[in-house]
A and B are shown apart, each in its own frame.
Chain A
Amino acid sequence: MSKPNIQPDLFAKAMLKGGHGGWLGMQYHAHGPGWFELALPWKEELVGMEESGILASGPIISLMDNCTSLSVWTKRDTFVPQVTLDLRIDYTRAATPGSTVIGRGECYKITRSMSFVRGIAYEDDLDDPLAHAAGVFMTIETF
């Protein structure tokens, strides 16, 4: 079976027009073989603590879920329907109020049915992440 010619950036842009990612305001940022980056600009509606202006942690989970899931397709070089089996997020520091958060997902290992991913959420400096993620996606028969 031949692999479809994939364009993950176009797929991400189409996907992020609506649904949960669209409401969050997630945007395509960059991608390469085995990795994918999405941007999450700060907005009032995503704040977890009103007085601080700090983003809630839920949007960070969604950001890492999406960018790691897209990284699987850049690793497999094809679209495979998949679901999140589990996802762990370590919050290493609070997001800076007003700053855009970049989620960088990396797929480091694939088997026939499982894809192992890791990632970080950062603002300007890859060496100063606000969160680390690790997870597994499972291939399913069909969406």
Chain B
Amino acid sequence: MVDASESIVRHLPPYARGLGIEIERMEGHAPVLAMDFSERVQGRPGYLHGGALSGLLEMAAIAALQEELAQENGKKRIKPVNVTIEFMRGGTVQRTYALGRVTRAGRRIANVQAEAWQDERDRPIATAFLNIALRD
């Protein structure tokens, strides 16, 4: 459970700080997260690890939802139910960005997507779809 008032934008959790995730900028209410390439996020030599990329995507999705809920009342707690990640391209040795988008936030469930890219924004390297439970 995450209290939506404890926003990732204001306070990155230890795991995100460890990966080197930073807030690049805000786009509307959602933050663009950025993660530099380092040995900590490397999978096979010269490529980003799918799990590290998934961690970045999930963080972007949760941050986007927290910011959207904060616009409403900010009192809901959130709990991811599941995540599906599709990998389109191998992430290479460079900075990676991710942005989440709330497709729908209902009373009990939010459907959130996130997309990750590197040097070309219109060539995503991976996308994530999350179902997130909401609790008052």
The finding on whether chains A and B are genuine partners in a shared complex, rather than unrelated, reads yes
**Could you tell me which residues of chain B, from 1 to 57, have a CB within 8 Å of some CB in chain A?**
1-2, 11, 13-16, 18-19, 39-45, 49-52, 54-56
The reply to whether the CB of A50 lies closer than 8 angstroms to some CB of chain B is yes
Bound-complex Cα distance A104 to B84 (A): 18
Pick out which of these stretches binds chain B: A62-70, A106-114, A115-123: A62-70
With A61-B54, A65-B50 as given contacts, are A46 and B87 in contact (CB-CB < 8 Å)?
no
With A45-B14, A45-B15, A143-B45 as given contacts, are A20 and B83 in contact (CB-CB < 8 Å)?
no
What residues on B are CB-neighbors of A80 within 8 Å? Answer: none
Q: Is B15 within 8 A of A62, CB to CB?
A: no
What residues on B are CB-neighbors of A90 within 8 Å? Answer: 81-82
Q: In the assembled complex, how far is the CB of residue B86 from the closest CB belonging to chain A, in whole angstroms?
A: 5
Point out residues on A near B: beta carbons under 8 Å. Answer: 18-24, 44-50, 52, 55-59, 61-66, 83-91, 143
Q: Is B59 within 8 A of A20, CB to CB?
A: no
29 contacts between A and B (CB under 8 A): A18-B42, A19-B43, A20-B41, A20-B42, A20-B43, A20-B52, A44-B14, A45-B14, A45-B15, A46-B14, A47-B14, A50-B11, A55-B15, A56-B14, A56-B16, A57-B80, A57-B83, A58-B19, A59-B55, A61-B54, A61-B55, A65-B54, A85-B86, A86-B86, A87-B85, A88-B82, A88-B85, A91-B81, A143-B44
Query: What DSSP secondary structure best describes chain B's contact surface?
Result: mixed
Bound-complex Cα distance A87 to B49 (A): 13
Q: Is B85 within 8 A of A83, CB to CB?
A: no
Q: In the assembled complex, how far is the CB of residue B48 from the closest CB belonging to chain A, in whole angstroms?
A: 8
The reply to whether the CB of B58 lies closer than 8 angstroms to some CB of chain A is yes
What residues on B are CB-neighbors of A21 within 8 Å? Answer: 49
What residues on B are CB-neighbors of A22 within 8 Å? Answer: 39
Q: In the assembled complex, how far is the CB of residue B40 from the closest CB belonging to chain A, in whole angstroms?
A: 4
What residues on A are CB-neighbors of B90 within 8 Å? Answer: 83
Q: In the assembled complex, how far is the CB of residue A52 from the closest CB belonging to chain B, in whole angstroms?
A: 8
Q: Is A88 within 8 A of B15, CB to CB?
A: no
Bound-complex Cα distance A102 to B82 (A): 19
What residues on A are CB-neighbors of B51 within 8 Å? Answer: 20, 24, 58-59, 61-66
Residue of B nearest to A69 (CB): B50
